Amino acid sequence: MRLKDVAQLAGVAVNTASTILNQRPNSWASEKTRERVMKAAAELGYRPNRAALALQSGRFNTIGLLVADLDNPYFCHFSKIFGSLVEREGFDLVIESWQTSLSREARLIDDFVDRNIDGLAVFVSNLDEHKEVLTRHRKAGFPIVALAMPGAGEAPVDVVMPNFELGLEDATRCLYQLGHRRFAFLAALSEGQKEGGRIDFFRAMIQQFDDTEIEFVQCGPGIDDARIACLDLLRGDVRPTAIVCLNDLCAFGVMRAAKEMSLEIPEDLSVVGVDGVPLGEHLVVSLTTIQQAHVEMAEQAFEFLKSRVEGDRETAPRVATFDARFIARESIAKAR
């Protein structure tokens, strides 16, 4: 169906129909004319050609979001929040996952830039590892916002990052006050992924106390990877009384492993996750977690990206940091 047919049915000029359907700000048409054009377009099933719109305006009105793993409820939760913001501002959202593969992550950053999108928000596994590709796209003028842990130096693009230090300190102190002295940290990482700041923060917090023992265990990124790794840990000669996990998905696997070992949570084992996904609050034993500022981070990421899309390409890369907070629920208790 052609634009000309819509204009003819609505009784307006083609340019008028185009201005209304493409939602250009310079439209002088009355509300009645707009309603007539929109009704005609609906009756004829007309949809503006996105490529043609981009040629006229220089924009596709589409934002990309690249996440690590759609099996992880954190990324689904963030995508929902971010998508609502994008839609409210008149953009469409395209979501892709790098599926916990670091090679796929690097390739998809490049691939997204070649698609019909105006900018990209990307969960980056490691800012330093991807500095070259991010720098290259920034120099080419393509808007990118990274959601990541801190890197070693200055970031080449706008960054929105969580700060887990305060939340991990509160969690560690709470567990210590509950009598826990034998800790484990379960790190669910993609193959080749570096440990990152969460483990460093926890190590620093726990080393404040002289009478503690801690074991660091690494596993794959899936929930079953965490379950299997935790089973091995719990079968050891000296079992930890508290396990802190790199993320909530990992904590779900730990809780299942405890069940299989006939251990009660929190009586026999206290469990703490990181991220604060809504699902954790509704488990049979609600999950204690260190919750990221989901809404605030999504809002800031979109604000950074939108400003770049709308023409601010010269401002130096900006960094926004949001504290994660400790939320105590049913999965922790006094150590036996």
Tell me, yes or no, whether 247 and 173 share the same domain: yes
Q: Is residue 309 part of a domain?
A: yes
Q: Annotate 53-94 with DSSP letters as a single string.
A: HHHHHS---EEEEEES-TTSHHHHHHHHHHHHHHHHTT-EEE
Domain that holds residue 85: 62-162+293-322
CATH number, domain at 315? 3.40.50.2300
Q: Residue 115: what pLDDT?
A: 85
Find the helix or strand (DSSP H, E) in which 231 lies: helix 223-234
Confidence of residue 333 (pLDDT cuts 50, 70, 90): very high
Biggest alpha carbon–alpha carbon distance for the chain: 83
Query: Cα(180)–Cα(196) distance, rounded to whole angstroms?
Result: 25
Q: Residue 262: what pLDDT?
A: 97
In this predicted model, what pLDDT tens digit does every residue of 321-331 receive, in sequence order?
A: 999 999 999 99
In this predicted model, what pLDDT tens digit does every residue of 198-216 receive, in sequence order?
A: 787 888 888 888 899 999 9
Average pLDDT over residues 174-190: 94
Tell me, yes or no, whether 158 and 297 share the same domain: yes
Could you say which DSSP state residue 235 is in? Answer: T
Tell me, yes or no, whether 172 and 275 share the same domain: yes
Is the pLDDT at 49 greater than 80, yes or no?
A: no
Question: Are 304 and 315 spatial neighbours (Cβ–Cβ below 8 Å)?
Answer: no
Query: Cα(1)–Cα(236) distance, rounded to whole angstroms?
Result: 69
Q: Which residue has the higher pLDDT, 247 or 114?
A: 247
Q: Residue 27: what pLDDT?
A: 63
Confidence of residue 1 (pLDDT cuts 50, 70, 90): low
Report the chain's mean pLDDT, rounded to a whole number.
90
Structural domains in the chain (count) = 3
Q: Residue 103: what pLDDT?
A: 86
Q: Residue 178: what pLDDT?
A: 98
Q: Is residue 56 part of a domain?
A: no
Tell me, yes or no, whether 127 and 72 share the same domain: yes
Q: Residue 53: what pLDDT?
A: 57
- Beta-carbon count within 10 A of 87 CB: 12
| 266 preceded by a cis bond (ω within 30 of 0) | yes
Tell me, yes or no, whether 170 and 276 share the same domain: yes
Confidence of residue 219 (pLDDT cuts 50, 70, 90): very high
Question: Are 243 and 254 spatial neighbours (Cβ–Cβ below 8 Å)?
Answer: yes
Query: Where does residue 22 rank: exposed (0-12), middle (13-18), buried (19+ CB within 10 A)?
Result: middle
Average pLDDT over residues 249-264: 97
Tell me, yes or no, whether 106 and 204 share the same domain: no
Confidence of residue 8 (pLDDT cuts 50, 70, 90): confident
Tell me, yes or no, whether 83 and 134 share the same domain: yes
Quote the percentage of the chain above a pLDDT of 90.
Answer: 63
